[in-house]
Structure 1
């Protein structure tokens, strides 16, 4: 643990996904006493089987001007990788209107810059964790290829690449043949895409394994955990939260960090606060690699299908899609069939695709794509939020933890 002049304050972190555990790790490093509370266990929810890619240098906010021309398909097409299913839910409508308002070039540019800066801090934080500990998480640093189906989408991607280059990212626009030279497993798919953006520095890891390793390390450092313990409310006294209310009794602390993903919104609403987070449902399947040479070593994203591929040791994670359809994790068979079809199209011989391990999770998305990090106007003085990372929770977790710890460190004891 680092030496610190921080007073011995007790912080209660609500949520044991990758965002909450990374926050607990950083806070403990800086001398805080920490308790972590979760309704399930470490690394469940959106951290359990996500896309596994760490997109530190390639960011494409979902709130983009290109969404407007896709709206009819989003609302009507049954096989669209992006789905919007309108419900009688004022929160969904308010979020959706804010999202459409954010689909402007100026907003997308600002969001890209902010996310890249936070991602750079997060890369440094995760690298520090790996350098100082012996965690096992199927980490790889083989780069990423984002494939574009037609010339129009490829041209738009090159514009985004130019913006990211201005912000310090190192990327290259490649032909299909050049992609195959980097990732030979794409040879059979080369005639079916126009080009790709290559980011050599990108990484991948098993987020669930990282969560379990953080749990092991934090337990060894004296961090307390309350699992299978849902937070039913926050007890407020004046300008402070004095306890998190649970079926097992109150949990008291000096400060509270809400890292509950999509559950952050209803908890904040109990206090009259608004957290603009809505569930963005995604799916994944994990298969064992049958033929090593036929499976990708480089991270691959098929932009048209909205599907990502990441190699995790002798497994391959296939993940994608985004549905704004409420708070449910039901897995329709057609969505997994679609992921399997995508995997077979790109990497037909990588696996036999018979034994699938399907999963669905709810990414906590904000309208702009920027996470909610810090205190809320009108909120209690000792209540902090660390939520709304969308599909970039794993990527941004350690940078968010560092910023959060700095905010808490600066607060008078």
Structure 2
């Protein structure tokens, strides 16, 4: 089968790889000059199924108000006259309750845990390298209130069978020895030993080369203008370099997915939330993190990637604005220098931002659409790197007419109700198997 994948970030590239492994003839189209050049380029480096958590949760509206008033605020909202922004925020607020949180987190953990296992097998099969480490994530709590609030997440982890360790300060220092240098700045932590770390950009570039060896064609510097449709099928992709045709199409354009879909009458609530990162050269290896430390107060992830420290986080709701704002850099520098003061040289740090494609409930949109030969793999939010391999395998299975290895419940676009025509699930596929 001839398949066109739209987008060559980590989601599009993994989709192309697994589709090629399934025996399909795959072409990838992207406006960038190479794979992984946008949101996949400088993310926090976490592969964190244990930390797969929706932003919409009980108490979040009140927390958001407090965050907005902090000097180093993890959240910034820049209001715009944009109906998609306001609709997305209202839907997110509607998910800020215990019942929705538990449902959404369980769906996210299901995809993320599967994805981690698929990635492990990929490493065994290919030997792919990307500054990977498999030493877990430490969610670090600076206050007793944060430690007490972890009970909600722990309950969901227990239900999902995800391993964890609740640590006192000495336990945190045992897991991350450099934290002993800042003793007294934290009260405990939640360690997720099944989590991993790695450079998403390096991974995406390496996997793109492996995909080429399988016959995948990458067409870069090509602008996707629209999808051509007829009846219940896509008939082609209109691009800056002419019309391209295939049997099946996989849309993996992240935050830009809704633009293309709206043109053909499909609506999904994916909206960009800008995140920032700095990449800091390690100055003192013994003073740097061993894996990932999530600073719960500032919602900042501090991750060791080879001879660098990647510090990523903050949430800026500002539409498609890619302006690098120095005040957002300040929160990243504060977090890493406060917890790892001798670890890296922030004066030599590079500064980056990207648009995370967020859904209001946190779960990505994976699977069929009302058009029988169009499939979605988008809306992964902050967890695109975490969920990439798993959602790509699910997508490849669906396109190939095979039953995926995990339940599909809650992953399709139809979970948002009847704003669209019914999705056309491939024959023989069970949603709840």
Which TM class, normalised by the smaller chain length?
over 0.9
Aligned to 1:384: 375
TM-superposed deviation, 1:136: 2.0
Secondary structure in structure 1 of the residue aligned to 2:104:
helix
Do structure 1's residue 190 and structure 2's residue 183 form an aligned pair? yes
Secondary structure in structure 2 of the residue aligned to 1:46:
coil
Aligned to 1:10: 2
Aligned to 2:59: 66
TM-superposed deviation, 1:76: 5.8
Aligned to 1:255: 248
Secondary structure in structure 2 of the residue aligned to 1:192:
coil
Do structure 1's residue 26 and structure 2's residue 26 form an aligned pair? no
TM-superposed deviation, 1:256: 0.6
Do structure 1's residue 175 and structure 2's residue 168 form an aligned pair? yes
Do structure 1's residue 209 and structure 2's residue 202 form an aligned pair? yes
User: Does the Cα contact within 8 Å between 1:158 and 1:173 map onto a contact in 2?
Assistant: no
Residue from 145, 149, 160 that aligns with 2:153: 160
- In the alignment, the residues of structure 1 paired with residue 72 and residue 337 of structure 2 have an alpha-carbon distance, to the nearest angstrom, of 17
TM-superposed deviation, 1:158: 2.6
- Cα deviation code 1:290-310 (max 9, x no counterpart): 111010113100011110011
Do structure 1's residue 294 and structure 2's residue 287 form an aligned pair? yes
TM-superposed deviation, 1:77: 5.5
User: Does the Cα contact within 8 Å between 1:58 and 1:164 map onto a contact in 2?
Assistant: no
Secondary structure in structure 1 of the residue aligned to 2:241:
coil
- Cα deviation code 1:165-196 (max 9, x no counterpart): 12101111111121112211111333112211
Deviates more, 1:264-273 or 1:118-127: 118-127
- In the alignment, the residues of structure 1 paired with residue 68 and residue 83 of structure 2 have an alpha-carbon distance, to the nearest angstrom, of 17
TM-superposed deviation, 1:252: 0.5
- In the alignment, the residues of structure 2 paired with residue 79 and residue 314 of structure 1 have an alpha-carbon distance, to the nearest angstrom, of 27
Residue correspondences, number: 403
- In the alignment, the residues of structure 2 paired with residue 179 and residue 243 of structure 1 have an alpha-carbon distance, to the nearest angstrom, of 54
TM-superposed deviation, 1:391: 0.2
Secondary structure in structure 1 of the residue aligned to 2:183:
helix
Unaligned runs of at least 5 residues, structure 2:
402-425, 428-433
Do structure 1's residue 234 and structure 2's residue 227 form an aligned pair? yes
- In the alignment, the residues of structure 2 paired with residue 198 and residue 230 of structure 1 have an alpha-carbon distance, to the nearest angstrom, of 43
TM-superposed deviation, 1:84: 2.1
TM-superposed deviation, 1:409: 1.4
Unaligned runs of at least 5 residues, structure 1:
1-8
- In the alignment, the residues of structure 2 paired with residue 294 and residue 27 of structure 1 have an alpha-carbon distance, to the nearest angstrom, of 42
User: Does the Cα contact within 8 Å between 1:58 and 1:169 map onto a contact in 2?
Assistant: no
Aligned to 1:37: 29
Aligned to 1:4: none
- Cα deviation code 1:89-115 (max 9, x no counterpart): 000010010000011111110111111
- Cα deviation code 1:134-168 (max 9, x no counterpart): 32200100111101121111111133112211210
Aligned to 2:265: 272
Secondary structure in structure 2 of the residue aligned to 1:370:
coil
Do structure 1's residue 311 and structure 2's residue 326 form an aligned pair? no
- In the alignment, the residues of structure 2 paired with residue 75 and residue 145 of structure 1 have an alpha-carbon distance, to the nearest angstrom, of 25
Aligned to 1:5: none
Residue from 83, 93, 99 that aligns with 1:100: 93
- In the alignment, the residues of structure 1 paired with residue 70 and residue 237 of structure 2 have an alpha-carbon distance, to the nearest angstrom, of 43
Deviates more, 1:149-158 or 1:279-288: 149-158
TM-superposed deviation, 1:354: 1.4
Residue from 396, 400, 409 that aligns with 2:391: 400
User: Does the Cα contact within 8 Å between 1:74 and 1:84 map onto a contact in 2?
Assistant: no
Deviates more, 1:106-115 or 1:74-83: 74-83
- In the alignment, the residues of structure 2 paired with residue 109 and residue 189 of structure 1 have an alpha-carbon distance, to the nearest angstrom, of 34
TM-score normalised to the size of structure 1?
0.95
Aligned to 2:80: 87
- In the alignment, the residues of structure 2 paired with residue 301 and residue 92 of structure 1 have an alpha-carbon distance, to the nearest angstrom, of 27
